[in-house]
Amino acid sequence: MLNVRHARRIGHPFDGQPPYLAGIEAMPKYRATVQVTGMTGESPRAVRSALDEQLRKSGFENCQIVSVDLEAPPPKALMRAPTAPAVEPAWRRQANMGGLLLVAAAAWAIWFFWWMLSASSE
């Protein structure tokens, strides 16, 4: 049986910190780039101060506005030249000819049998 009064903790994670912070390391810090559009104002300085004020009201204390630029107008739609109709490949033309030959053979067979039956009835 273990005598708890004489037990000793060595290198326990709770040593030196409160139990709710045990095993938690310092959180890494990040830098984010945010692009805001649609801001209007008399000058870039006025837009910068308005944006800075809105960020401070939102609770972002550690922020810095790097630049304020004019929004570029939307790009113009490019007009593409009309393309010439595609030429059918050779295999496609051959397939079409094969189909026409098949239809012609079927029509000839029907005519032939009709001619034979009509000639035999006379």
Mean pLDDT of 114-122: 82
Q: Is 92 left (phi over 0), alpha (psi -120 to 50) or beta?
A: alpha
Within-domain flag for 15: no
Within-domain flag for 58: yes
Within-domain flag for 106: no
Compute CA distances 23 → 2, 10, 32, whole Å.
27, 16, 27
Within-domain flag for 41: yes
Task: Look at 17 and 62; give whichever has higher pLDDT.
Answer: 62
Within-domain flag for 8: no
For the segment 26-43, what is each residue's pLDDT rounded down to a tens digit? Answer: 777 777 777 777 788 888
Calculate the average pLDDT of the chain.
76
**Residue 8 pLDDT class (50, 70, 90 cuts):** very low
Distance in angstroms (rounded) separating the CA atoms of residues 51 and 64:
10
Distance in angstroms (rounded) separating the CA atoms of residues 61 and 52:
10
pLDDT on residue 99: 87
What is the number of domains present in the chain?
1
Q: How many CA atoms lie within 13 A of 28 on its CB side?
A: 3
Distance in angstroms (rounded) separating the CA atoms of residues 122 and 113:
15
Sign of the torsion formed by the C-alpha atoms of 41, 38, 56 and 63: negative
For the segment 82-113, what is each residue's pLDDT rounded down to a tens digit? Answer: 877 777 777 677 778 888 999 999 999 999 99
pLDDT on residue 81: 81
Stated pTM of the model: 0.37
**Residue 25 pLDDT class (50, 70, 90 cuts):** low
Q: Which domain holds residue 52?
A: 30-70
Q: What percent of the chain has pLDDT over 70?
A: 77
Within-domain flag for 3: no
Within-domain flag for 46: yes
